Amino acid sequence: MEKNKLQRIGVLTSGGDAPGMNAAIRSVVRGAIFNGLEVVGIRRGYEGLLEGDIIPLSVSSVGGIIHRGGTFLRTARCEEFKRPEGINEGLTRLREYDLHGLVVIGGDGSFRGAWELAKRGFPVVGIPGTIDNDIAGTDTTLGFDTAANTALDAVVKLRDTASSHERLFIVEVMGRHSGCLALHVAVAGGAECAVIPERPVNIEELCRKLQSTRHRGKTHSLVVVAEGAMGAQELAAQLQDKAGFEFRITVLGHIQRGGAPSVADAVLGSRMGSFAVKALLEGEKGVMVGILKGELALSPLPVAWEQKSELPQELMDLVDVLSI
């Protein structure tokens, strides 16, 4: 689409919320208005698109939201949008609302819907927002830094209790298909082990490591587990069965998604939002914004699910090195 034909765009958040989404929305809105465009917000993601739940957005509409957690446009998962009929209905709605472009903030599931719209000729740009940091085409996703710091804060506090009572703790963090969050928290929190989907855990080896730390006088131990690798309860049962260890379990759950974004996520959301508007103005469609080696870049949306976001082997090995 030529620049002079882009007059009115929409923005929506879809899937799981992530800290920094509001910063990205704010940047999309203000970046669009700065360039002479009208902007509407589509509430509750694709579900809201199908139901016509849209609101006009102005400079003042997004005032004061940059430091708010969650997404003020709200979010939802939409099963109907996974079917061709739902996609076609969404495209009809976009045209009815006289929209000429769309910014979708979410994870790979949200991007699949965006790609279907793009294949039908509608200009869509994605912003990767997920605390799992599991999307290829970007070094980090919106919300990951905040979630990692939230989890680390909990781990640091648990270590105080673990040390005081000479206990072993298992902390379960989010990450259905990726252990990125668990791995970073384990390294930063001084854990004995990170149990992640990318590396099967050797229970006997883990038992030997925990026994070794006890023998050298360490009064506490910590294991961080990603929910997609193994539940904390299951891991604790196996360690109890193999070596008689008694663990205290903490499942952090959705607390990791909440809270004000960190400086890194507020800045990242702001940069990505403005860059997404620029991409639409330049006629891009079916692409996602990413940050690679500190520089903003565009990748085709399918990169998000067709390529695997690999964890650095060096970081996986570092947990073992530092926990001797």
**Bridge partners (DSSP) listed for residue 151:** none
Element holding 292 (H helix, E strand): strand 287-292
- Given a contact cutoff of 8 angstroms between Cβ atoms, the answer to whether 1 and 101 are in contact is yes
CA–CA distance, 24 with 270 (Å, rounded to integer): 5
SS3 readout for 131-166: CCCCCCCCCCCECHHHHHHHHHHHHHHHHHHHHHHC
CA–CA distance, 85 with 115 (Å, rounded to integer): 15
The single-letter code of the amino acid at 33 is I
- 141, 142, 106, 170: which is closest to 19 by C-alpha? 142
Does the active-site annotation cover 132? yes
Report in angstroms the alpha-carbon separations of 79 from 30, 109, 135, 145, 305: 31, 11, 21, 29, 18
Residue among 17, 108, 132, 145 flagged as catalytic: 132
**Bridge partners (DSSP) listed for residue 12:** 42, 104
User: How many CB atoms lie under 10 A from the CB of residue 243?
Assistant: 14
Catalytically active residues, by annotation: 132
